[in-house]
Structure 1
Amino acid sequence: MALEIVNLGDTFEIKGSLNESNVNKFKSHFENIFNTTSRLVINIDDLTSIDNHGVLAFEDLYRESLDKNKKLFITGFGCREMYEHLKSMKVA
């Protein structure tokens, strides 16, 4: 399934697969997002699969939120591996 990013007002819903072939679409969609908002909510209930490139894209968003002192919320039950990766990150 192709990657689809749906804007639901204050939440973005990620549908399909996030992988090397479409990670640039994900990155460009959220590029500089924290320049225009103080919080970002991403629902991953319908994220069916994610590879290492996708996880790293979420990691980049997470680091940007920390650098800019913004809030990032990832909601839903999709891709437990991503949650585990983000929880294991060491934040300086």
Structure 2
Amino acid sequence: MRHEQIPSSEAAAVFAAALISRAWKRTSRGLRTEVFHDGYSWTVDVPSSEQAEIVYRDGYGGWENVTAVADWTTTVGLVDAALPVVNLR
């Protein structure tokens, strides 16, 4: 299965949207949220003990496997943003 590398500027915008997401949930892999940016729905995962990554985008033509890995600073920020949300559920 092919994973399309997305431009770093687009990845930064998706990670920024994930930082303010209130839709985080726990999965068997770790934490996950879905955010909307530039006409797409993006899936952001924060696997246990790994860096955050953008794994899918879904739009008019269906979903695509994409890839963009966050740096550790962004990953820690995403975990800090996600934990209060998932702990309220």
TM interval, shorter chain, is: 0.3 to 0.5
User: What TM-score do the two structures reach when normalised by structure 2?
Assistant: 0.34
Q: Greater share of helix residues, 1 or 2?
A: 1
* TM-score normalized by the length of structure 1: 0.33
